[in-house]
Structure 1
């Protein structure tokens, strides 16, 4: 049976009780920590999108991410767990799923919604993941990278905790045009949705070049199909058929909305 105390750094004195969040977030810290604690209170990550087109896009993105997780994976770490969809999908087939988030509310709700003996929750900072080097089989980090202040530090942290030969799957908006509004409090330009960066193939290649990894890049969710509200028809297709239609649309109109980065840590 999986023992989370063997992979945590520092190791707790005792195994956590079922349903107990392991809170390893230091008091105080950077401004972004307070921001995302407040963000989890103001924004309900567990609420389903009101727009059915957005719901369909999210479901297809999740299917794309999961297909890159090797079937042999035993332990999955979900960095930035949000709604804990990774736990919902993988708890039945994996030895352990660790829902990790900077917001205590999200990890607490993750355990409440998906109670299972193989579900663990840890609150902490992705820049300093509280796990032993090379202790995790696979990491999923969906729609997180665009929010982090230091992308290189975030990537190094993910790579450090994954076993040699292990897998990291990251998703992020593709070639997003970052929009700003003027904050009424600080009178400074503030990015909408707290998206700090926009990613494409060239930038990912630059960011990943210094790391001991191999990687592939995958684009999906054609914007033309999204704008035309084709989810009414495409939601009935199995994933493979949907992926073929989406791929064809992106060859005709090169406007993917999502980028999925699949990283293999070198042995």
Structure 2
């Protein structure tokens, strides 16, 4: 993770607790190294996959970018980086402090007008789709924005017993997810995507707390 710990700590202080939790900042800063590894492992998988599809003149969208924590890993592989979120202040702070060029930060309502159809090489959705109640319209919109050879990269929680135990041990409470990995995967397939690969974090089966998924567009 290429984001200074001090910057994340500053964001944690500035943001309301619920927003900081949704952006996973407490997980990145958690005193338990296992919790920190679980949080950053998801980022590593997304960054590695995105780099494999990088295009110097291409564009990548980090939908639900939160703090912008993926920006330093994504930016070297694409000409333009878009970040979309409801609260853009943390991402704007990161872009300014780290001096990351060619980043455009957008509110969700601007996605349709500011990003052309068939223009994105990669869309990254890290820990965000589980928050969205009406997912099909968004998935159709993201599909339109991707190039025919583009990829949708997703991580999502399984919401299984181990995941819930981990949340409890980490000190998180409340229920703000409306979806889980298996249901999200099915909706993505129904929206016209084809699964290329899937990684279970940390391990398959009942030990899978998160799924990481790589989708291409179905012809």
Shared topology, TM-score over 0.5? yes
> Cα distance 1:127–1:257, how it changes in 2: closer, same or farther (>3 A)?
farther
- Matched residue of 1:163: which SS? strand
TM-score (norm 2): 0.72
- Matched residue of 2:78: which SS? coil
Cα deviation for residue 175 of structure 1 reads 4.1
- Matched residue of 1:149: which SS? coil
Unaligned runs of 5+ in 2: 1-13, 165-172
Q: Does 1:118 align with 2:118?
A: no
Mapped to 1, the partners of 2:16 and 2:196 lie a distance apart of: 35
Find the counterpart in structure 2 of residue 150 from structure 1: 134
Mapped to 1, the partners of 2:138 and 2:111 lie a distance apart of: 5
Max radius of gyration: which structure?
Answer: 1
> Cα distance 1:164–1:64, how it changes in 2: closer, same or farther (>3 A)?
same
Find the counterpart in structure 1 of residue 36 from structure 2: 55
Q: State whether residues 110 and 121 of structure 1, in contact with CA within 8 Å, keep that contact through their aligned partners in structure 2.
A: no
- Matched residue of 1:113: which SS? helix
Name whichever structure is richer in helix by fraction: 2
Cα deviation for residue 256 of structure 1 reads 0.2
Q: Does 1:97 align with 2:81?
A: yes
> Cα distance 1:76–1:164, how it changes in 2: closer, same or farther (>3 A)?
same
Find the counterpart in structure 2 of residue 260 from structure 1: 212
**What are the superposed Cα offsets for residues 232-263 of structure 1, whole Å, 9 maximum, x if unpaired?**
xxxxxxxxxxxxxx4xxx3xx63200111211
RMSD across aligned positions (CA): 2.9
Pairwise mapping of residues 66-85 of structure 1 onto structure 2 (< 5 A)?
Answer: 66-69=47-50, 70-73=52-55, 74-85=58-69
**What are the superposed Cα offsets for residues 173-196 of structure 1, whole Å, 9 maximum, x if unpaired?**
0144698xxxxxxxxxxx924111
Q: State whether residues 170 and 261 of structure 1, in contact with CA within 8 Å, keep that contact through their aligned partners in structure 2.
A: yes
TM-score (norm 1): 0.61
- Matched residue of 1:95: which SS? strand
Mapped to 1, the partners of 2:15 and 2:131 lie a distance apart of: 14
Find the counterpart in structure 1 of residue 168 from structure 2: none
Aligned residues: 188
> Cα distance 1:84–1:41, how it changes in 2: closer, same or farther (>3 A)?
same
Find the counterpart in structure 2 of residue 32 from structure 1: none
Find the counterpart in structure 1 of residue 174 from structure 2: 192
Mapped to 2, the partners of 1:115 and 1:123 lie a distance apart of: 21
Unaligned runs of 5+ in 1: 1-38, 180-190, 223-245
**What are the superposed Cα offsets for residues 48-79 of structure 1, whole Å, 9 maximum, x if unpaired?**
32232221112211121123223443321100
Pairwise mapping of residues 138-217 of structure 1 onto structure 2 (< 5 A)?
Answer: 138-176=122-160, 192-200=174-182, 203-204=183-184, 206-217=186-197
Mapped to 2, the partners of 1:160 and 1:81 lie a distance apart of: 20
